[in-house]
Amino acid sequence: MARARLTRELIVEAAATLLTESTDDITLAQLGEVLGVDPTAFYRHFRDKDALMRAVSDRILSAVTVDLPPPASDWRATVVEICRRLRAAHVGNPRLAELVRSGPPLNRNEFDLTERLLVELRAAGLKPKAATMAYHALIELTVGSAAIDAALAAEPPDARRQTYERWRSAYRLLDPAEYPTSVRLAGQLYQGDAEQRFQFALDCLLDGIAGHVPGSARST
Amino acid sequence: MARARLTRELIVEAAATLLTESTDDITLAQLGEVLGVDPTAFYRHFRDKDALMRAVSDRILSAVTVDLPPPASDWRATVVEICRRLRAAHVGNPRLAELVRSGPPLNRNEFDLTERLLVELRAAGLKPKAATMAYHALIELTVGSAAIDAALAAEPPDARRQTYERWRSAYRLLDPAEYPTSVRLAGQLYQGDAEQRFQFALDCLLDGIAGHVPGSARST
DNA sequence: ACCTGAACACCGTTCAAGT
DNA sequence: ACCTGAACACCGTTCAAGT
């Protein structure tokens, strides 16, 4: 109805909105409807759906590196903050992780994010080789964790709690003779929310990474 | 041609083969062709495609827990071995991680895997709460890492090396004024293969987890 | 009891025709 | 220069009809 001129900008914005509103894949038909335009009009602005999705991913990653504390003030806190934001961006957009899988987006915001992580890891005292290995480790945990948790995160909180409870009872109801430890620890599985579990994992990983700083207690 | 009676077993086997042979999604038409049967015949044996995929995932996870060293002999080595196998299973079957995202498979082999990991983490000296948190951390890193690396792992080794080199030069060619650290460390990014990078991440994570054992140097 | 084949609703994408 | 609308190839799934 309120037809405006179709631009890449408008398409990306509409796609990003659709993406956050649902777990499902975006459809070009949906996109056309939202924009009040023929479903195929979009081919005048993007090569194909994949190109659109990459543009959307750039837009979503733009939130990750804004307004961070000054470089090297507290490397660990900054790394945690970046990873939290990166995870949130992916969790809020379930379909995004699929794109990252096929390779780094190699766009503006992704370069900013990489630079900043590498700066902090170097500031922590890691040597070049260890810094890049730590960078990869952080990305794999963060993006991987988001990919796993995204589907459930899209559901409302109590549906989520119900699902966790369902999974817990699946373990609780196993044969105690065959699965004694699972049965005993069933109540502890999937405790808290996925974000807290990620924080624990990230803390452990950073403890281990800190051990690679020359002169640290654990370094070889 | 060599028509045999169609069974769930035969369908799952054919699907697993197709899945390992390609990065693409399986098609019911493909499946019908391989089995020498009408594409829709499969609905006599499975509710829908999703049910088939879950059965396939069980089959693939069956390799993870076979022939492990006896419980609690060397918890860290056993955990590493389980995670390596779990990652390999997922990396070899790119479409699998998508299923795990929507929830744990809750089938035989997945229960075995969970039980074994929890047993080892308890044997390491972790308290129940810490053991389950560590379990989640290990799964998120392992499965997440596999999801990220799977697409590229499907390509032949030299294509993979070329891709890594292309990514490295993307960083190398950035503006050194804006991205000094990325440019300087570009040559170190994506070094070795994905498996080695995963091993580094897993080692760091396990270092951090070991710090949660009561009485360890790092425990609070 | 199991399989076939036509049919359906829904994808992404192409392309000639409109303005 | 940009959009429309018909068309195409391809999905998963249903269902009446065959054996």
3-state secondary structure of B117: helix
Query: Which chain A residue shows the shortest CA-CA distance from B205?
Result: A205
So what's the pLDDT on residue A21? Answer: 82
So what's the pLDDT on residue A3? Answer: 47
Is B205 in contact with A208 (Cβ distance < 8 A)? yes
pLDDT higher for B100 or A134?
Answer: A134
Distance CA A123, CA A73 (A): 9
In the predicted structure, residue A1 carries a pLDDT above the cut 70: no
Task: Assign A102 a pLDDT band (cuts: 50, 70, 90).
Answer: low
Whether the CB-CB separation of A32 and A44 falls below 8 Å is answered with no
Nucleotide nearest to A26 (CA to C1'): C11
Mean pLDDT to the nearest integer, A34-41: 93
Whether the CB-CB separation of B96 and B89 falls below 8 Å is answered with yes
Nucleotide nearest to A41 (CA to C1'): D3
Contact residues for A1 (Cβ-Cβ < 8 A; gap 6+): A36
CA to C1' distance (Å), from A42 to D10 = 21
pTM as predicted: 0.90
Distance CA B84, CA A209 (A): 20
So what's the pLDDT on residue B101? Answer: 63
**B200 touching chain A per CB within 8 A:** yes
Within a 10 A sphere around the Cβ of B8, how many other Cβ atoms? 14
Residues of A within 8 A of B144 (CB-CB) are: 140-141, 143-148
Nucleotide nearest to B44 (CA to C1'): C2
Residues of A within 8 A of B171 (CB-CB) are: 111, 114
Is A191 in contact with B111 (Cβ distance < 8 A)? no
CA to C1' distance (Å), from B156 to D13 = 36
Distance CA B200, CA B206 (A): 10
Instruction: List Cβ<8 Å contacts ≥24 apart for A191-198.
Output: A191/B129, A191/B132, A191/B133, A193/A160, A194/A91, A194/A145, A194/A149, A194/A152, A194/A153, A195/A84, A195/A87, A197/B133, A197/B136, A197/B137, A197/B140, A198/A87, A198/A141, A198/A142, A198/A145, A198/A149, A198/B140
Whether the CB-CB separation of A128 and B184 falls below 8 Å is answered with yes
3-state secondary structure of B186: helix
Nucleotide nearest to A35 (CA to C1'): D3
So what's the pLDDT on residue B219? Answer: 53
In the predicted structure, residue A137 carries a pLDDT above the cut 90: yes
Residue for token digits 């699929």? A98
Residues of B within 8 A of A132 (CB-CB) are: 185, 188-189, 191
So what's the pLDDT on residue B216? Answer: 82
Spell B179-198 as b/e; 16+ CB within 10 A means b. bebbbebbebbbeebbeebb
| Test mutation, A118, A127, A163, chain B, max B CBs within 10 A | A118
CA to C1' distance (Å), from A37 to D4 = 9
Residue A7's alpha-carbon distances to A1, A34, A47, in angstroms, are: 16, 14, 14
Q: What's the pLDDT tens digit per position in A185-219?
A: 999 999 989 999 999 999 999 999 999 999 886 55
Q: What's the pLDDT tens digit per position in B33-54?
A: 999 999 999 999 999 998 999 8
In the predicted structure, residue B3 carries a pLDDT above the cut 50: no
Within a 10 A sphere around the Cβ of A44, how many other Cβ atoms? 10
Spell B14-31 as b/e; 16+ CB within 10 A means b. bbbebbeeeeeebebebb
Q: What's the pLDDT tens digit per position in B168-215?
A: 999 999 999 999 999 999 999 999 899 999 999 999 999 999 999 998
Provide the chain A residues 100-119 that lie in CB contact (below 8 A) with chain B.
100-104, 106, 111, 114-115, 118-119
Q: What 3 state SS string does B3-33 have? A: CCCCCHHHHHHHHHHHHHHCCCCCCHHHHHH
Instruction: Name the minimum distance, in Å, from the CA of B119 to any CA of chain A.
Output: 6
Instruction: Name the minimum distance, in Å, from the CA of A174 to any CA of chain B.
Output: 9
User: Percentage of chain A surpassing pLDDT 90?
Assistant: 66
Distance CA A127, CA A131 (A): 6
Provide the chain A residues 31-60 that lie in CB contact (below 8 A) with chain B.
none
Q: What's the pLDDT tens digit per position in B64-119?
A: 999 999 988 999 999 999 999 999 998 887 777 667 666 777 788 999 999 999 99
So what's the pLDDT on residue B102? Answer: 67
So what's the pLDDT on residue B148? Answer: 86
Question: Which of A118, A147, A201 comes nearest B181 by C-beta?
Answer: A118
**B151 touching chain A per CB within 8 A:** yes
So what's the pLDDT on residue B1? Answer: 37
Distance CA A173, CA A192 (A): 21
In the predicted structure, residue B153 carries a pLDDT above the cut 90: no
So what's the pLDDT on residue B23? Answer: 76
So what's the pLDDT on residue B2? Answer: 38
